[in-house]
Amino acid sequence: MTTQQAPATRSAYPVYSRNIVQRLLVNRESAVIALLVIVYVYSLVNVEFFDGPLTTYNLFKEYAPILLMALPMTLIIITGEIDLSVSSTLGVCAAACGVMVKDHGLSMPTAIVLTLLLGIVLGAVNGFLVAYVGLPSLAVTIGTLALYRGLAEGLIQTDRIAEFPASWQDWPTERIGDTNIPNIMVPVVVLAVVFGLLLHFTSFGRGIYEIGLSSETAHFSGVNVARTKFLLFIMSGFVAALAGIYVLLRSDSVATDTGVGFELKVIASVLLGGVSIFGGRGALHGVIAGVLLIAVLNSALQLSNQGSEIIQIIIGLLLVVSVIASSFLPRVRELLPRRAMASGPSKAPNSGDESRKARQ
């Protein structure tokens, strides 16, 4: 019995068969961070104006919503679910906030609080359908993607709502002191720290990984699977609402197409950051590096007068290459002659995937 258990344990935790230096440095997250640094340094040296003061500022200003929404998305994808509706939640929240302020004369703080509540409700709808009704999140959130976008269109119709109170507009995009960092990065960093702590240093966060590896096992080991998923979708709705308010204030307008297509950008960055689409694997710092990598590439290519399609091609290639690297190479490695310890690295994510799929 014991002889059988030993290899099983080792293949379940293949990571610990390597020493700590390797574990910290040779993984997907480090690869993304290294790539980010390489691209950044290369752009600094070779791309004209990349070292200018506006580059960092614009980069953060433009990518703050993606960065925000990528945080809860990471947690959701680690549980093996997905939320495609974030961009529509963002759109409908921005629309609602605009309508409340301009058409109903609510003060900005009241409108913001109500908008955040709306985000929570919209997230809870997704969460309820996925966690308690047990529907597949891919299908549910394709539905709410259309539904919420439809609500936004119904709310503001052809109008473009604009001209919000100037004091509110300016704050998110003002620089912090003498730096090139806009104020919006303060809530972004706070939330990143909160989500980082939640995911990596609490039992709730460990539960998220367990659900991703096998939700049945998680259930039997005392994780409240349904509640965890429900809460994650609520967080996603809340953060999307926050991003919606930011987008509204940043561009001082909201239209029916506000935020269209963000969901795929967010998911692409999360996956690029080393999170497995099957759940159970990933880390928040990798995701943040993933978003920044896309952001840096984007601004470097823009500055060198490349069209936006080049960045699309690069995002696509990075996605395909990264997913091949993480799921195909381990199998190749398995086929090659190797030391016994390095065996079975691909087993853990695979088993998570299969049990998840079997449940659906």
Partner 1 sequence: MTDLRVEPSQQSRSARMLGTLLRSRELSIAIVLVLIVLAATARRSTFVFSGDGWRDTLLAPSILLLLAIGQMVVIVTRNVDLSVGSTLGATAYVTGKIFIANPETNVVLVFLAGLLVGAALGAVNGLLVAFFRVPALVVTLGTMYIFRGVLTNQIGNDRIVAGDIPANFEKLGTQQILTIPVLTLIGLLVLAIVGYYLHTARGGRELYAIGSDPDAAKLYGLNVGKRVFAAFVLCGALAGLAGVFSVARYATAFAGTGRDLELQAVAAVVIGGVAIFGGSGSVWGAAIGAFLLVTINRALPILGISDFWQGAVVGGLIIGSIVLDRVLMLRRTHQLVEARDTTGTP
The minimum distance between CB 6 and partner 1, in angstroms, equals: 25
Identify the CA nearest to 88 among candidates 261, 252, 271: 261
Point out which span in 47-55, 114-122, 177-185, 302-310 binds partner 1 (CB under 8 A).
302-310
Token readout for 323 is 């997913």
| Cβ 262 to partner 1 shortest distance, Å | 13
d(CA 11, CA 348): 7
**In this chain, which stretch among 16-24, 66-74, 145-153, 184-192 interacts with partner 1, using CB under 8 A?**
145-153
When binding is defined by CB under 8 A, the residue of 117, 147, 303, 342 that contacts partner 1 is: 147
Please give the residues from 84 up to 103 whose contact with partner 1 meets the rule CB under 8 A: 84
Nearest-approach distance from CB 293 to partner 1, in angstroms: 15
Contacting range for partner 1; rule: CB under 8 A; set: 114-122, 152-160, 216-224, 233-241 = 152-160
Closest CB to partner 1 among 95 and 185? 95
Question: What letters, b where the CB count within 10 A reaches 16 and e where it falls short, cover 104-142?
Answer: eebebeebbebbbebbbebbbbbbbbbbeeebebeebbe
Residue from 11, 106, 114, 143 binding partner 1 (CB under 8 A): 143
Going by the DSSP 8-state scheme, the letter that residue 283 receives in this structure is: -
Q: In the set 46, 203, 221, 360, which binds partner 1 (CB under 8 A)?
A: 360
Q: Which of 106, 120, 310, 342 binds partner 1 (CB under 8 A)?
A: 310
| Dihedral sign computed on CA atoms, order 3, 7, 9, 15 | positive
DSSP lists the bridge partners of residue 182 as 175
x-marked contacts with partner 1 along 245-264 as a string, rule CB under 8 A: -----------x-------x
Among 327, 334, 343, 347, binds partner 1 (CB under 8 A): 327
Q: Binding residue for partner 1 (CB under 8 A) from 32, 118, 267, 297? A: 267
- Spatial distance between the Cα atoms of 266 and 288, rounded to a whole number of angstroms: 11
* φ, ψ of residue 327 in degrees (nearest 5): -115, -20
d(CA 106, CA 198): 34
Q: How far is the CB of 352 from partner 1 (least distance, A)?
A: 12
Restricting to residues 109-138, which ones interact with partner 1 according to CB under 8 A? 129, 133-136, 138
Residue from the set 184, 208, 223, 315 that interacts with partner 1 by CB under 8 A:
315
DSSP 182: B
Closer Cβ to partner 1, 107 or 312, answer by number: 312
Question: Are the C-beta atoms of residues 180 and 56 closer than 8 Å to each other?
Answer: yes
Q: Is 140 in the site for partner 1 (CB under 8 A)?
A: yes
Residues between 199 and 238 that touch partner 1 (CB under 8 A): none
- Helix (H), strand (E) at residue 249: helix 225-251
What one-character-per-residue DSSP string does 102-165 give?
HTS---HHHHHHHHHHHHHHHHHHHHIIIIIS---HHHHHHHHHHHHHHHHHHHHTT--EE---
Point out which residues bind partner 1 (CB under 8 A): 82, 84, 129, 133-136, 138-140, 142-151, 153-154, 157-158, 256, 264, 267-268, 271, 277-278, 307-320, 323-324, 327-328, 331, 354, 357-358, 360
